[in-house]
Chain A
């Protein structure tokens, strides 16, 4: 099977990989780059566990071909904390106990961060609809939604 060479940017760093054309960006991240923070819950775009940012847009990496990453910028959960400092959402998820098993958590965090970047004052309903593509089976979403709303509040008051 011939492979294609792809040059891309991942979490701000240049990255290169070889992949088969049929491989998804999620396959590449997990199997070729050992960035296993993005999870495969379904492989069909229904669960959001593989959420990443592609050129600043929230996408399911299971529905992107690896070759499509050529020349583009990918951000994953591994790039969310700055060194030892957690992103405020990561911190709030811990404080609110917004995770139980934690397998959906990376996807939720990436998706929630994308929300707060376009809307720093979302209503509960806006949070719920924005995150409707991220499935969580443990929490009933209650604490996740609270953590996101609380983060937004803190981010707003830090700016004020």
Chain B
């Protein structure tokens, strides 16, 4: 296993492209080292991206935020502006693992690990986040939810890596929230999760919504039907009931050690509903 710590994204892409056997990107390492430990065949090359300046900071850009792929969750949590604009995304990323994990784990890593239960992904999908991909050719931007294509699989080609994630400028009266269900209070993988991102008009009526469900399908589920159940409403009880039902209907979970299909389906609706109420309040809506 060769270890390289290049200084630029270009150099990283070149290393990845030139790798003979398998190559892995090391950001926070909180997934990679666990996989190595659990008997994964060691990759021929590990590319540490933490020495790449362009990937190591949070920048304001066009009224939004560009978050480098090597930025650990803890640093995101300490950025006040980011937390104010996108509390749901910051909270989602802040839920990944313990304080110790937070010191290392990155949002981009969470995205590229492509776990169906990744905490930051539903929040990113709901936020309409855009991943910037560096590679041998030109940089390209794709919606965050298009990165993972299935458990452990991504749409990235050989030599490509996520360089940053962009969270766009928010219209006024917008709010987002993310909730997950775990059996404990911490240190668990979501059995079901939901990210909700809303914009309201002056009267508190929802004019735009994005709703994403996690851990209830092979990849994040962005549900237009669920979003539609919120648009045009003030999130009255009846609207929320329809919304929760739409979320449960959109969920396609499996039975596993983290819960039964029935349980996850039900809880996806419960959490989405609760997240919607938080997002609504954050957008300035009065419940």
Touching chains A and B, CB distance < 8 Å: yes
A residues with a Cβ closer than 8 A to B are 4, 20-22, 24, 43-46, 48, 51, 54, 57-60, 62-65, 67-68, 70, 111, 114-115, 129-134
B36 surroundings in chain A (CB, below 8 A):
22
B97 interfacial contact with A, CB 8 Å: yes
Segment from B13-21, B27-35, B59-67, B234-242 that makes contact with A: B27-35
The answer to whether B46 and A48 have CB atoms under 8 Å apart is no
Chain B 27-69 interface mask (CB, 8 Å, partner A; 1/0): 0111001101110001000101010000000000000000000
Whether B1 lies near A22 (C-beta < 8 A) is yes
Give the shortest distance, in Å, between A158 (CB) and chain B (any CB). 25
B103 lies within 8 A of A58 (CB):
yes
> Which residue from chain B places its CB closest to the CB of A60 in the assembled complex?
B100
Contacts of A64 in B (CB 8 A): 29, 33, 104
**Complex Cα–Cα for A63 and B1 (A):** 16
Known A-B contacts: A44-B37, A54-B103, A133-B99. Give 14 more (CB < 8 A).
A21-B2, A22-B36, A45-B30, A45-B34, A45-B97, A45-B98, A57-B72, A57-B74, A60-B104, A62-B37, A64-B104, A65-B26, A65-B46, A133-B98
Residue of A nearest to B186 (CB): A132
Given A67-B3, A133-B187; A51-B26 close (CB under 8 Å): no
Between A and B, 7 residue pairs with Cβ closer than 8 Å are: A21-B2, A24-B33, A59-B104, A65-B46, A70-B5, A131-B99, A133-B97
Q: Which of B1, B185, B187 contacts A46 (CB 8 A)?
A: B187
Please name all residues of chain B whose beta carbon is closer than 8 Å to the beta carbon of A46 when the two chains form the complex.
187
With most chain B CB atoms within 10 A of its CB, the pick from A4, A20, A63 is A63
**At the interface, yes or no: B101 with Cβ under 8 Å from chain A?**
yes
* Chain A facing B: main interface SS: mixed
The total of Cβ contacts below 8 Å across the A-B interface reads 85
- Give CA–CA (A65, B43) in the complex, Å: 14
In the bound assembly, the distance between CA atoms of A132 and B33 in angstroms comes to: 21
* Top 6 A-B pairs, shortest CB-CB distance: A133-B98, A132-B186, A57-B103, A21-B3, A60-B100, A21-B1
Listed in ascending order, the chain B residues whose CB lies under 8 Å from chain A are: 1-3, 5, 26, 28-30, 33-34, 36-38, 42, 46, 48, 50, 72, 74, 97-101, 103-104, 185-187
Residues in chain B near residue A129, CB distance under 8 A: 185-186
The answer to whether A133 and B37 touch across the interface, beta carbons within 8 angstroms, is: no
Q: In the bound complex, do residue A63 and residue B186 qualify as a contact, i.e. CB atoms below 8 Å apart?
A: no
Q: Let me know if A4 and B100 touch, CB within 8 A.
A: no
**Which residues of the partner chain A approach B28 to less than 8 Å between Cβ atoms?**
63
Please name all residues of chain B whose beta carbon is closer than 8 Å to the beta carbon of A67 when the two chains form the complex. 3
Complex Cα gap A57–B17 (Å): 32
Q: Hey, which chain A residues are within 8 Å of B100, CB to CB?
A: 45, 48, 51, 58-60, 63, 111, 133
Interface centre among B5, B74, B104, by most chain A C-beta atoms within 10 angstroms, is: B104
Q: How far is A51 from B74 in the complex, measured between Cα atoms in Å?
A: 16
Q: Which residues of B contact A43 (CB under 8 A)?
A: 37
Contact of B33 among A54, A58, A62, A114 (CB under 8 A): A62
- Closest B residue to A132 by beta carbon equals B186
User: Which residues of chain A come closer than 8 Å to B29, judged between CB atoms?
Assistant: 63-65, 68
Contact B3–A65 (Cβ < 8 Å): yes
Closest-CB distance, A77 to chain B (whole angstroms): 14
Minimal beta-carbon separation of A108 from chain B (angstroms): 12
> Bound state CA distance, A132 and B36, in angstroms?
24
Rounded to whole angstroms, the CA-CA distance of A116 and B34 in the bound complex is 29
Tell me whether A111 and B99 are in contact (CB under 8 A): yes
Q: A residues within 8 A CB of B5? A: 70
Give B98's nearest chain A residue, CB to CB.
A133
Residues on the B chain within 8 Å of A133, using CB? 97-101, 186-187
Residue of B nearest to A128 (CB): B185
Which residues of A have CB within 8 Å of B50?
68
CA distance A21 to B26 in the complex (A): 12
CB distance from B108 to the nearest CB of A (A): 17
